[in-house]
Amino acid sequence: MDGPAGRIAFIGLGMMGLPMATRILEAGFSVCGADLSSEARSAFAAKGGTAFDMPRRAADGASIVITMLPSGAIVRDVLLGGGDAAAALRAGALIVDMSSSAPLETRRLAEQLAALDIGLIDAPVSGGVRRAVDGTLAIMAGGDGRHIARVRPILDAMGKDIILTGPVGSGHAVKALNNYVSAAGLQAACEAVLIAEKFGVDPGVLVEVLNVSTGRNNSTEVKMKPFILSRTFASGFSMALMAKDLRTATELAEQLGLSAAGARDAAALWSTASAALGTSADHTEIYRYLAAASGSQ
Ligand code: NAD
């Protein structure tokens, strides 16, 4: 039976979408999932949910649609392109794009949906798979405050810090900029490890020093030891998605007429690394790429 929020369609049950949709389901909302992958649909079924292969079928009759897809281009295609899921929605439905999409494209999509009397807010997330499972994600919500208030109980089931960023598209802008800063911190930490190792310093000792010193960042704290020094490279966030986020940050700067050399260099580096290591590479494998490029291996 549908709850007070109506039925929720959750489209994209991947590394992040599966635990996020599961949190909403466990909070007692009525959720119907969709994913192209049969493995993803089976994983949601194992959590007690129902999922379709066609997003349009999940969206049929839903009052809220949450998208957690690889890119804004795919979100657009699912809603208004080949997927045409927006056509299955009633007037007054609300779309919550939690994917990391491109901000100006999000604004354009919101305008097109508004013409169909469908609302859109952007609510991308940070925190990775672990915090998605725990329901402690950081959520950056952009758009009409009334829309955000309407889905607030649903966001609360997935996140701990829910920050209102401004008009529609601003959440996606902040998310891309966050990932630029995150990628820069990870790159710096990896390069520091490579240099320390060559000098004869134990990389574990370097990371311990960074974590109690001014070089500390999220990557030194939660990525270097578990995923990089251990060589597991299993953070659950792909290199291709990180490279996309860096291109989004760089394109935003360009669209605003700003020169941002650091972001441009980072986007080029991560795009080249992603092309070299392939679509299955985890983003922490940037260490492997930097190691090879540095001549240390
Ligand atoms: P993922 O590749 O694991 O999941 C994406 C899912 O979307 C897949 O299951 C795929 O089958 C499905 N999909 C793709 N096209 C589809 C379509 N047309 N119709 C229905 N389903 C479709 O990706 P992810 O790691 O879960 O990331 C999802 C989004 O969240 C991305 O925008 C990413 O940048 C962002 N993000 C990821 C992380 C992370 O740690 N993995 C953290 C924060 C944000």
CATH number of the domain encompassing residue 182? 1.10.1040.10
Cα separation values, 282 from 10, 163, 288, Å = 24, 28, 11
Residue 16 beta carbon below 6 angstroms from any ligand 1 atom: yes
Do the beta carbons of residue 176 and residue 252 sit within 8 Å? yes
Residues 34 and 161 in one domain: yes
Last residue of a domain, one of 114, 142, 166: 166
Q: Are residues 95 and 186 in the same domain?
A: no
pLDDT score at 5: 67
Residues 159 and 197 in one domain: no
User: Which of the listed residues 166, 188, 213 is the one where a domain comes to its end?
Assistant: 166
Same domain, 149 and 188: no
Task: Give the model confidence (pLDDT) of 173-210 as tens digits.
Answer: 999 999 999 999 999 999 999 999 999 999 999 999 99
Locate the ligand 1 atom nearest the alpha carbon of residue 83 and give its number.
Answer: 18
Of the candidates 175, 198, 225, 244, the residue annotated as catalytic is 175
Continuous segment of H or E residues that includes residue 31: strand 31-34
Same domain as 281, residue 219 = yes
Query: Average pLDDT over the chain, rounded to whole?
Result: 97
Is 264 in the same domain as 228? Answer: yes
- Pick the residue whose CA is nearest to atom 29 on ligand 1: 99
| Residue of 10, 16, 126 to mutate, ligand 1, most atoms within 8 A of C-beta | 16
Whether 158 and 124 map to the same domain: the answer is yes
Task: Kindly state if the Cβ of 70 falls inside 6 Å of ligand 1.
Answer: yes
Q: Over the range 151-165, which residues count as b (16 or more CB within 10 Å of their CB) and which as e? A: beebbebbbeebeeb
From atom 1 of ligand 1, which residue's Cα is the shortest distance away? 14
DSSP 247-259: HHHHHHHHHTT--
DSSP structure string for 120-178: EEE--EESHHHHHHHT-EEEEEES-HHHHHHHHHHHHHHEEEEEEEESTTHHHHHHHHH
Question: Is the whole model's pTM more than 0.85, yes or no?
Answer: yes
Q: Tell me, using a 6 A CB cutoff, whether residue 237 lines ligand 1.
A: yes
Probe target for ligand 1 pocket from 10, 56, 69, with the most ligand atoms within 8 Å of CB: 69
- The finding on whether 35 has its CB within 6 A of some atom of ligand 1 is yes
One domain for residues 188 and 152: no
Q: What percent of the chain has pLDDT over 70?
A: 98
Shared-domain flag, residues 125 and 272: no
Q: CA 234 to CA 212: how far, in whole Å?
A: 25
Give the per-residue SS3 of 94-127: EEEECCCCCHHHHHHHHHHHHCCCCEEEECCEEC
Among 36, 79, 161, say which to mutate for ligand 1: greatest number of ligand atoms within 8 Å of CB.
36
pLDDT of residue 83: 84
pLDDT band at 270 (very low <50, low <70, confident <90, very high): very high
- Verify that 100 and 159 share a domain, yes or no: yes
Instruction: Identify the domain containing residue 187 by its residue range.
Output: 173-294
Sequential DSSP letters for 54-67: SHHHHHTT-SEEEE
Q: Are 193 and 147 members of one domain?
A: no
pLDDT tens digits, 5-31: 689 999 999 999 999 999 999 999 999
Is 198 assigned a catalytic role?
no
Torsion from C-alpha of 22, 163, 136, 222, nearest 10 degrees: 130
Domain holding 15: CATH number? 3.40.50.720
**pLDDT band, residue 295 (cuts 50/70/90):** confident
Q: Which of 166, 200, 227 is the last residue of a domain?
A: 166
Query: Where do we find the tokens 């994600």?
Result: 137
Total number of domains in the chain = 2
* 139 and 181 fall within a common domain: no
> Could you read off the pLDDT of 105-154 as tens digits, one per residue?
999 999 999 999 999 999 999 999 999 999 999 999 999 999 999 999 99
